[in-house]
Amino acid sequence: MAEAAAAALVKVIFQKLADEAFKKYARSQNIHSELKQLGITLTQIQALLNDASHKEITDESVRLWLNSLQHLAYDIDDVLDEVATEAMHRELTPESEASTSMVRKLIPTCCTKFSLSHRLSPKLDGITTKLQHLEKQNPGLIVKGEKPKINTNRRNETSLLESDVVGREGEKKRLLNQLLVGESSKENFSILPIVGLGGVGKTTLARILYNDTQVKDHFELMAWQLKDKRFLVVLDDVWNENYDDWENLVRPFHSGATGSRVIMTTRKQQLLKKIGFNHLDLLESLSHDDALSLLARHALDVDNFDSHETLKPLGEGIVEKCGCLPLAVKAIGRLLRTKTDGEEWDDVLNSEIWDLESADEIVPALRLSYHDLSADLKRLFAYCSLFPKDFLFEKEELVILWVAEGYLNESVANKSPECLGHECFEKLLSRSFFQRAPSGEPYFVMHDLMNDLATFVAGEYFLRFDNQMEMMEEALAKYRHMSFIREEYVAFQKFGAFEKARSLRTLLAVYVGVDQRWQDFYLSSKILVDLLPQLPLLRVLSLRRFNISEVHNEEDLPLKEPLELLQEVLITDEELVECASDDKLPSDENKRNFPPIW
């Protein structure tokens, strides 16, 4: 898992080192020899990464070696960016000496007292020494040839449409009866629980019930205006087991008409017991036959294995190892769409990933599906670990972030980074790493188990910063990408220790739930004025939907005046900050040279 991130970073480094303009400037600053030696050592290490991708799964020493390489790769990339930024600064200085742009303030300024060579040569020598030491610490890796190219005759995995649900006829019939007839209740409404393990299909079953024609005809209202109406409400993936919170939630339900229903999906049983459900029917995994049929649909576009007799024994073994869990079967099925013969299916069935200890609670089938992704897709998926569970995101928004991070800059004929990003998104969607949100377009979501997988593979470089998180300042220094939950008021105190996170490249504000345009969010100006300048490597800053305002003494209500210092920051949502007139913004040429900030 660490190999994918390290390989992607190394590829970016070689692209930067090969740039002719970069090499010309490096020669003018007398650091070309140090960069050349660094590239030679890195080439020798790069040759080992193919073997590392296979061994890191079971060999802890390989995983730790790759982590060290990834940290060094980040450091190298930071130095190369410092060189590129110095070159840009030299080029733009005549035209921009009078500029007071906040964007310029966020770009790390270069020291003018010493030459670039004087400042960077010791740093480059130190990194090269560490690389050479890392090469000597090789944990038994050997150089192998390239992986065989993917057969171009294989089916396009992005063409897969959402298959019909397999099985669940009995559960659907029983739950429909409870919805449409049910038992008499003292209350105007009754709870219909769907309880089971993660990935077993609770949300899918709830969606089937909600969209059933009989259900739509039976209930007068399927929304939140409940008074004197027979309603149906779905509460999906309930985790909170606090009874008082439950009472507050259901208080509006009492005003509905008799016969109303609430479908609740959850893995937690304690709350249900508190409200009187002492005997629960747990939603089980699929039957063996239904799981096999689901695998056939997603892997072969057929309902069964009748026309693929040689693959059937392998498919039976695979669904057994998946525990007949629908999410796992679907993910493996979509992996197998790119496999065309029995040997490849046998490799999946006998993968050592199935036998890994499950202390991290990552479903082996999902880990196996991730392992089959290309290095680029692995990195794009790991980036989504910044999103909290149940986070609703739009395709365009995520692609913009990927582009801003520089993940999609590889040259592809006749394809823009945005176009490439859309293709990558569709591939991850087709492989069940993303799924469409129950609320429908334009939102997508990651299943909780996929979110756990993203967090697991992201390792020690990505962090979802929590209000209650107590973190040592030295621990913050190792993280490169962070997100935090957007709240109504965000004060500087929350980020007090962030000035130590000097390696931070990304800072995202995220929000759980459906974004309401009418809701206001406020951010302390001290975060912008005092904190951001302390993060010299920051590349992507997303403060989407914040009204940037002054906050008095951190605890008082904010003023409604927009912060003047941010009037020249380029933000994608024009409603956030009133920008200065166009003639005060950086020119198109200058914009391209600034780190992406939105």
Q: Do 50 and 123 fall into the same domain?
A: yes
Q: Which of 112, 136, 160 is the last residue of a domain?
A: 136
126 and 15 housed in the same domain: yes
Residues 177, 132 share a domain: no
120 plus 193 within the same structural domain = no
Residue 432 exposed, middle or buried by CB count within 10 Å (0-12, 13-18, 19+): buried
Quote the pLDDT of residue 297: 92
Instruction: Tell me which of 243, 274, 305 is where a domain ends.
Output: 274
Question: Are residues 99 and 199 located together in one domain of the fold?
Answer: no
Tokens 């089938």 belong to residue: 365
pLDDT at 433: 92
Strand extents, DSSP E, 374-526:
393-394, 435-436, 443-445, 462-465, 481-485, 489-490, 506-510, 521-524
| Domain presence at residue 385 | no
Same domain for 481 and 565: yes
pTM of the model: 0.72
Residues 188 and 234 in one domain: yes
Give long-range contacts, CB 8 A cutoff, 24+ apart: 158-163. Answer: 158/423, 158/426, 158/427, 158/430, 159/430, 160/298, 160/301, 160/334, 160/337, 160/430, 162/436, 163/294, 163/297, 163/298, 163/330
Whether 186 and 123 share a structural domain? no
Q: Which domain holds residue 180?
A: 169-274
Same domain for 129 and 8 = yes
The pLDDT of residue 428: 93
Mean pLDDT per segment of 10 residues, for the chain of length 598 residues?
Answer: 75 86 86 86 82 74 83 87 80 53 46 61 85 83 53 42 67 86 68 82 85 83 66 84 83 83 84 79 88 92 91 92 89 86 89 70 83 88 92 91 84 77 92 84 87 88 71 72 86 75 86 70 80 83 73 39 31 34 35 38
Domain boundary among 237, 252, 274: 274
DSSP type of residue 229: S
- CATH number of the domain to which 242 belongs: 3.40.50.300
**Is 76 within the bounds of a domain?**
yes
Would residue 373 count as lying in a domain? no
**Count of domains forming the chain:** 3
Do 118 and 205 share a structural domain? no
- Does the residue 446 lie in any domain? no
